[in-house]
Amino acid sequence: MEDIENIAKKIVEDGKGILAADESTNTIKKRFDSINVVSTENTRCQYREILFSSKNISQFISGVILFEETFFQKNKQGKPLTEILENVNCFSGIKVDQGLEQFQDSPDESFTKGIETLNERLKLFVENGAKFTKWRAVINIAENIPTIECIKKNAELLAEYALISQKNNLVPIVEPEVIMEGKHNLKKCYEITKKTLQEVFNCLKNKNINLRGMLVKPNTIVPGNESGEKLDIKKSAVKTLQCLKETVPREVPGILFLSGGLSSLNATMILNEINKLEKTPWKLSFSYGRALQEHALKEWIGKNENKGTTQKIFLHRAKMNSMACLGKWEKSLEQDM
């Protein structure tokens, strides 16, 4: 059985990142609605198989986070989607949180459900070849939030999740997402992200988590989308790196940014800019969902005859983010499509 430290390292090998294809049934329905495709078990499977079977995907993508339905799905030939990934040297991962629950006294804050049943649920995924897991916590910024209680509760749950995952020989991807929606400025995003990551790593240390056998998936530092403050790629990159240097221990092998509402291009540009700044103790990579898929989805529009062009567009985006992991992305490369 492969060691979790090795798997964590392989996930963030030079120029490689993760495809987040773990949209819940509700989320993928919204995506399919936008292209007038009915979301059924069959169409969801068909779409994801197109992405997973893209030629040379593993040059840029080391692993894919799957939703539970997808993890056990088979294509029309009866081949499991996880086997398709295994055949192209991509690790299968699984989203294991069970969504959000409101805080009793603070309806605009939430904590993540599913910890009580997690250990039991992981068994089946391990038996079927899962190599890593993901658990997302959500931190909103508004007038009197987040409260310290919300940050602490979510940090404790992330640490407990990481412990259970590692006990099952799975690499936990710890995702504390400070949400981009809101009127807060860049400075506020930095303050709250720093406070959140400090609390998360305190809890991880208290649980004796093997930091070399885990990965972290944070947001980049950007102004709220209703703040009126213009996104400044360079400024965001500098503040993001500063925040990480102040919070993430050097033993952690990699940091996989989420795109969190950024456009595909902005997500690539910030990642590239951060990687150009200086050499860091951790690999700085991506774990993008929409920012890898949105153009491919619009090309596919539910038609199998669009498979080739859909894969080409998807691979182009994956390649651009791979270049950004190395700080070698340039705008001219976008015209090569």
Helices (H), 177-336: 186-206, 233-247, 264-277, 290-300, 307-325, 331-334
Q: Which of 109, 156, 175, 299 is catalytic?
A: 175
Active site residue 294: no
Active site residue 188: no
Give yes or no for a contact between 234 and 275, defined as CB atoms under 8 angstroms apart. Answer: no
Q: For residue 310, give Cα distances in angstroms to 88, 131, 292, 303.
A: 18, 27, 12, 10
44-79: buried (b, 16+ CB within 10 Å) or exposed (e) per residue? bbbbbbbbbbbeebbebbbbbbbbbebbebebeeee
Output the six-digit token pair for 62.
């080391």
Q: Which of 217, 239, 283, 319 is catalytic?
A: 217
Smallest Cα–Cα separation from 231: which of 198, 261, 275, 199?
261
Give yes or no for a contact between 282 and 255, defined as CB atoms under 8 angstroms apart. Answer: yes
Smallest Cα–Cα separation from 290: which of 318, 259, 314?
259
Give yes or no for a contact between 284 and 274, defined as CB atoms under 8 angstroms apart. Answer: yes
Q: What is the DSSP code (8-state) at residue 74? A: B
Residues designated catalytic: 175, 217
